[in-house]
Amino acid sequence: AQSVTQLGSHVSVSEGALVLLRCNYSSSVPPYLFWYVQYPNQGLQLLLKYTSAATLVKGINGFEAEFKKSETSFHLTKPSAHMSDAAEYFCAVKGSGTYKYIFGTGTRLKVLA
Partner 1 sequence: NAGVTQTPKFQVLKTGQSMTLQCAQDMNHNSMYWYRQDPGMGLRLIYYSASEGTTDKGEVPNGYNVSRLNKREFSLRLESAAPSQTSVYFCASQDSPTGANVLTFGAGSRLTVL
List residues binding partner 1 (CB under 8 A). 9, 32, 34, 36, 41-46, 49-51, 90, 94, 96-101, 103-106
State the Cα–Cα distance between residues 71 and 111, nearest whole angstrom. 28
Least separation in angstroms between residue 94's CB and partner 1 is 7
Residue 47: phi and psi, rounded to 5, are -95, -50
For partner 1, the closer of residues 9 and 12 by Cβ is 9
Write the single-letter amino acid at 19: V
For partner 1, the closer of residues 23 and 81 by Cβ is 23
For partner 1, the closer of residues 26 and 80 by Cβ is 26
Q: Exposure pattern of 94-105 as b/e (b: 16+ CB <10 Å)?
A: bbeeeeebbebe
